[in-house]
A and B are shown apart, each in its own frame.
Chain A
Amino acid sequence: MKTPEPFGFVRDLATRWDLIAVVVIVGLIVWAGDASRGLLEPLSRLHESPLSLDPANLPFYAARTTLRMFLALGLSLVFTFTYATWAAKSNRAGKLLVPILDILQSVPILGFISITVVFFMSLVPGRVLGAEFAAIFAIFTSQAWNMAFSFYQSLRTVPAELTEAADSFHLTPWMRFWQLEVPFAMPALVWNMMMSMSGGWFFVVASESISVGHTTVALPGIGSYIALAIAQRDLTAICWAIGAMLVVILIYDQLLFRPLIAWVDRFKVEQEGTGQAPTSWALTMLRRSRLIAAFTLLFRSVLRWSSWALPHRRPRKARPRAREGRLDTLWLAVIGVLIVVASWHIGRVLIAGTSMAELRQVSWLALLTMTRVVVLIALASLVWVPIGVWVGLRPRATEIVQPIAQFLAAFPANLVFPLVVYLIVTGNLNPNWWLSPLMILGTQWYILFNVIAGASQMPGELRYAAENFQVGGWLWWRRVALPAVFPFYVTGAITASGGSWNAAIVAEIASWGTTQVKADGLGSYIAQATSAGDYHRIVLGISMMSLFVVLINRIFWRPLYYYAERKFRLT
């Protein structure tokens, strides 16, 4: 028999990891309470106590920004679980919902703000909360679409045998969703959540420092801090903002995404272990701590209870074919009517407010922006593909470069405004050329990410074979490296191209204090229309941008993607 240890009960009660867990959890609660103070204050308070560039305020601002982002992320998850599920489960709804998602993805985030801000402000008139809603919705629009797409695709590819197993063991649809479909979709979804957070940061200024026509709101947060620093030409403040951002990203990366990635690794269906499993100290804490274990148990019980409480419904029997056919026709008719009504409304707004000359001008501006995107993507590819291959073939380098690239993808364009404006003004440079690089500032990293991923997955035997036959120099790039990373490159380039269009709105106009430089393009057109509150122009500009993005995707990227998948994917 063991001798009882003194304080053995303490050890029983709490492990070392429990103490850390307590600190982390209480910290999170305090932070959330702190960050949400002031939500119900009247809007006028924002003007009475304006933002200050004192770095002492930054922790509070950072907390507010992060809280907003996570609320938006939560909303995006809710949206993902409902919208994408509906689209995947109902063939009929999917026919409409998937193309809608495709279009929503191409609509620039600023477009959503400018159109919805008045609506949200009117929900809670005169309170800060209304503006917060608008900001959170704006961030939501920069996060939700790719998450929903990823979830939709996962739902469509659940292995048939797993579905059959679920059916034959009588799982209810509710249980099936939480026990089969969500876990299956998790790995891809977590990856997309990370991308979404980066996207949210890139537009942090636009979503917090809202200025549409006469509505001007600067919500406390890092974004507004940056906007103020730019207006006051405060370079030190800009540096503080960069620092704060870095710290915040580092914290949620360590506390949330690392553990998530390590955790979802076991959700991957291909069962053979590939390489080293991801690790995370925070996950270790979660796993070892009994407090957390209790919370998990609670969650599971809720899940079990909810699946018991819900009616135990048998799977629906298929309807006779003839009736299906009639329903299909009816559904198509409903869609048809919706399309007619919607195009009539859009047409009315556009025709009433714009002339043919305006339309021609906007098309021309869109062509200008398109040229920029194409040239920039080509340039970025020339730079990052070789570097990505080099890095990807060296595991050590990959470990270092991946997180840096991730941070840079989140880096808002506004933060380099001072530098760019200074260079353009002092060097007397043409902004039409020299503002362009801002568009690709955040998006080029997607090319790098993906190429690194592709190169690091290149089978060792292929590389050895190439060495064995002494394939070197340009021949090696042409016959070995480039084909191997091509499918990955295409995926990255698609993301980068779509993102660059979106970024054009914040990148084609840069300001530093009162100095403003502007490039001609669709982005600056929309930005100007937004600050002028010119509703017709906003709609026209946004429609044009969506049209271009969707067309380019359909005509160029999608065929290229399928070609790459078919010809170069190493399975």
Chain B
Amino acid sequence: MNAGPPLLEVTNVRKSFPKADGSELLVLEDVNLRLQSGQIVGLLGRSGSGKSTLLRLIAGLSECSAGEVQYLGKRVEGPALGISMVFQSFALFPWLTVFENVALGLEAQRVAKPEIRKRSLAAIDLIGLDGFESAYPRELSGGMRQRVGFARALVVQPNILLMDEPFSALDVLTAETMRTDFLDLWSDGRMPIQGVVLVTHNIEEAVLMCDRILVFGSNPGRVVSEITVTLPQPRDRLDPAFRDIVERLYVAMTARTDTGSAAARSSRLPGLGIGTELPHVSSNLLAGLMEAVAAAPFNGTADLPKIASDLHMDSDELFPVAETLQMMRFAELEGGDLKLTPEGIAFASAEVDERKKIFARHLLNYIPLAAHVRRVLDERTSHVARKSRFLDEIEDYMTDEAAENTLRTIVSWGRYAEAFAYDDEGEKFSLENPGESEG
């Protein structure tokens, strides 16, 4: 596209974190990215796919384990002047006024005082905050706070702006306004920035804003596909070409490439080990989605973008539920469609007790960790097992936090299926409740 050195070049970056037991947890593997002047590049992926980690590597807030990040041909070591960042939760200093928050970055660069004043006021003006200079962040609404975040990032006149899910903490309407305002400033060239890297899990946001979108897969995080968007700005969500790209992204994001082994990847209904990380999805959500897909107008097969907007669900909320249904063989995910299996349809039309039976059967058959817990409990004469026993086993495969969450999910599914009971205070699994309900 453009000649000359790229603004930003990420080559073969790999990032791993040491775990408590001395082993390493791989978060990013072999990531490449090139940002040319005048581009907005989107990093799209599910939570846990390492896209925020990549952003922090680019910002110089953390160091690559291998590979390198180059800014204007120079290796990034520590926060670089010329790259600034907008945070998901705004990260404003509550004890500083809007003006002081904006001025802070300039003070750190030892800019002369009159200059600080001039530039800060200009940035505040640009981003539509004039009149709010002396307000404290707590007095502002979420949208106004994020505007301060933008003003603060722009005042240091960066070449690259990094945005970490900047609109995800805002309500839908405010987020839309902020996106439009940002794109207006961007296309008018009124901001000093030459390139943007945007992290998001919102598919439509990515298509609205980006020139190029990298789709991230998990375990370990890596780029699984790349889509170029050439639609002219401003883009229209209802434009068939726009819908088409959204559909392609849904397909790319649901392509099953993120389970452990190569064999599993090739299979449509993958086999899972006890080391599979389970998302925290309640049985209510699973049942709700199955009902919605079974009912009209879907009648058993739903287009993901369509059902996401029908149910007012973010793609990031929808995917874990859909994938869990697939894992439990209640549905199949393919080509951006969610198709219920006969068992899924049976579940959707069953009564409470029957549902629990179906759910228990699928849980014990298809979720190896659940089957494992049940087997251990059955084998013991006391029918009791400590939580830490299972935690230790699965911690070999994932972070300690993910292990905790996975076990929490197993507890909630097991309770719903009445497959086993769990005592939180004693941190013990047992067969108590099922025994009681039978007797």
Question: Which of A144-152, A167-175, A363-371, A441-449 is the interface stretch?
Answer: A167-175
Cβ contact of A169, chosen from B89, B108, B138, B145, cutoff 8 A: B108
Q: Is the CB of B78 within 8 A of A314?
A: yes
Q: Is the CB of B79 within 8 A of A167?
A: yes
Q: Is the CB of B87 within 8 A of A164?
A: yes
Question: Which of A262-270, A385-393, A456-464 is the interface stretch?
Answer: A262-270
Interface size on A, residues (CB 8 A): 32
Question: Which of B91-99, B323-331, B338-346, B415-423 is the interface stretch?
Answer: B91-99
Per the bound structure, the CA–CA distance linking A315 and B108 in Å amounts to 14
Determine if B313 is an interface residue (Cβ-Cβ < 8 Å).
no
Contacts of B145 in A (CB 8 A): 271
| Residues 68-113 (chain B) with a chain A CB within 8 angstroms | 77-79, 81, 83-85, 87-89, 91-96, 104-105, 107-110
Per the bound structure, the CA–CA distance linking A168 and B56 in Å amounts to 10
Q: Is the CB of A169 within 8 A of B63?
A: no
- Nearest chain A CB to B102's CB is how many angstroms away? 10
User: In the complex, which residue of chain A has the Cβ closest to the Cβ of B96?
Assistant: A179
Contacts of B110 in A (CB 8 A): 308, 312
Contacts of B137 in A (CB 8 A): 271
Per the bound structure, the CA–CA distance linking A272 and B138 in Å amounts to 6
Cβ contact of B95, chosen from A165, A168, A266, cutoff 8 A: A266
Contacts of A318 in B (CB 8 A): 63
Q: Is the CB of A183 within 8 A of B138?
A: no
- Nearest chain A CB to B222's CB is how many angstroms away? 24
Determine if B33 is an interface residue (Cβ-Cβ < 8 Å).
no
Known contacts being A168-B61, A169-B104, A169-B105, is A273 close to B91, with CB within 8 Å? Answer: no
Q: Is the CB of B138 within 8 A of A273?
A: yes
Per-position 1/0 for A426-463, Cβ under 8 A of B: 00000000000000000000000000000000000000
Cβ contact of B79, chosen from A170, A179, A272, cutoff 8 A: A170
Q: Is the CB of B108 within 8 A of A172?
A: yes
User: In the complex, which residue of chain A has the Cβ closest to the Cβ of B87?
Assistant: A161
Per the bound structure, the CA–CA distance linking A308 and B137 in Å amounts to 26
User: In the complex, which residue of chain A has the Cβ closest to the Cβ of B56?
Assistant: A164
- Nearest chain A CB to B138's CB is how many angstroms away? 4
Q: Is the CB of A169 within 8 A of B152?
A: yes
Known contacts being A168-B79, A169-B156, A172-B108, is A161 close to B91, with CB within 8 Å? Answer: yes
Per-position 1/0 for B22-59, Cβ under 8 A of A: 00000000000000000000000000000000001001
Contacts of B156 in A (CB 8 A): 169
User: In the complex, which residue of chain B has the Cβ closest to the Cβ of A317?
Assistant: B77
Contacts of B63 in A (CB 8 A): 317-318
Contacts of A479 in B (CB 8 A): none
Cβ contact of A170, chosen from B56, B94, B108, B152, cutoff 8 A: B108
Per the bound structure, the CA–CA distance linking A162 and B137 in Å amounts to 14
Cβ contact of B94, chosen from A168, A172, A266, cutoff 8 A: A266
Per the bound structure, the CA–CA distance linking A170 and B93 in Å amounts to 15
Determine if B186 is an interface residue (Cβ-Cβ < 8 Å).
no
- Nearest chain B CB to A302's CB is how many angstroms away? 14
| Residues 243-296 (chain A) with a chain B CB within 8 angstroms | 266-269, 271-273
Per the bound structure, the CA–CA distance linking A165 and B84 in Å amounts to 9
Q: Is the CB of A162 within 8 A of B108?
A: no
Per-position 1/0 for A539-571, Cβ under 8 A of B: 000000000000000000000000000010000
Determine if A478 is an interface residue (Cβ-Cβ < 8 Å).
no
Cβ contact of B91, chosen from A164, A172, A186, A268, cutoff 8 A: A164
Among B85, B96, B105, B107, the one with the most A-chain Cβ atoms within 10 Å of its Cβ is B107
Determine if B171 is an interface residue (Cβ-Cβ < 8 Å).
no
User: In the complex, which residue of chain A has the Cβ closest to the Cβ of B156?
Assistant: A169
Determine if B242 is an interface residue (Cβ-Cβ < 8 Å).
no
Per the bound structure, the CA–CA distance linking A161 and B105 in Å amounts to 15
- Nearest chain A CB to B298's CB is how many angstroms away? 38
Among A159, A165, A172, A180, the one with the most B-chain Cβ atoms within 10 Å of its Cβ is A165
Determine if B182 is an interface residue (Cβ-Cβ < 8 Å).
no
Contacts of B136 in A (CB 8 A): 266
Known contacts being A162-B91, A315-B78, is A168 close to B108, with CB within 8 Å? Answer: no
| Residues 167-206 (chain A) with a chain B CB within 8 angstroms | 167-172, 175, 179-180, 183, 186
Known contacts being A171-B104, A267-B94, A314-B78, is A164 close to B89, with CB within 8 Å? Answer: no
| Residues 384-433 (chain B) with a chain A CB within 8 angstroms | 425
Q: Is the CB of B93 within 8 A of A180?
A: yes
Known contacts being A268-B94, A318-B63, is A170 close to B85, with CB within 8 Å? Answer: no
Known contacts being A162-B91, A171-B108, A180-B93, is A271 close to B79, with CB within 8 Å? Answer: no
User: In the complex, which residue of chain B has the Cβ closest to the Cβ of A312?
Assistant: B110
Known contacts being A161-B89, A168-B59, A168-B85, is A271 close to B104, with CB within 8 Å? Answer: no
Contacts of A317 in B (CB 8 A): 63, 77-78
Contacts of A304 in B (CB 8 A): 107
Contacts of B87 in A (CB 8 A): 161, 164-165
- Nearest chain B CB to A292's CB is how many angstroms away? 17
Per the bound structure, the CA–CA distance linking A186 and B92 in Å amounts to 17
Contacts of A267 in B (CB 8 A): 94-95
- Nearest chain A CB to B106's CB is how many angstroms away? 9
Among B96, B105, B108, the one with the most A-chain Cβ atoms within 10 Å of its Cβ is B108
Q: Is the CB of B108 within 8 A of A269?
A: no
Q: Is the CB of B138 within 8 A of A271?
A: yes
Per the bound structure, the CA–CA distance linking A314 and B80 in Å amounts to 10
User: In the complex, which residue of chain A has the Cβ closest to the Cβ of B107?
Assistant: A304
Q: Is the CB of A266 within 8 A of B59?
A: no
Per the bound structure, the CA–CA distance linking A271 and B94 in Å amounts to 7
Q: List 24 A-B contacts (CB under 8 A).
A: A159-B89, A159-B91, A162-B93, A164-B56, A168-B79, A168-B83, A168-B84, A169-B105, A169-B152, A170-B105, A170-B108, A170-B109, A171-B104, A172-B108, A183-B93, A186-B95, A266-B94, A266-B136, A267-B94, A269-B94, A271-B137, A271-B138, A272-B138, A304-B107
Which 5 A-B pairs have CB atoms at the shortest separation, nearest pair first?
Answer: A169-B105, A161-B91, A165-B91, A183-B95, A271-B138
Q: Using a CB–CB distance below 8 Å, which chain B residues touch chain A?
A: 56, 59-61, 63, 77-79, 81, 83-85, 87-89, 91-96, 104-105, 107-110, 136-138, 145, 152, 156, 425
Q: Using a CB–CB distance below 8 Å, which chain A residues touch chain B?
A: 159, 161-162, 164-165, 167-172, 175, 179-180, 183, 186, 266-269, 271-273, 304, 307-308, 312, 314-315, 317-318, 567
**Given A175-B107, A271-B145, 9 extra CB contacts under 8 A:** A161-B89, A162-B93, A164-B56, A165-B85, A165-B91, A168-B84, A271-B137, A271-B138, A273-B138
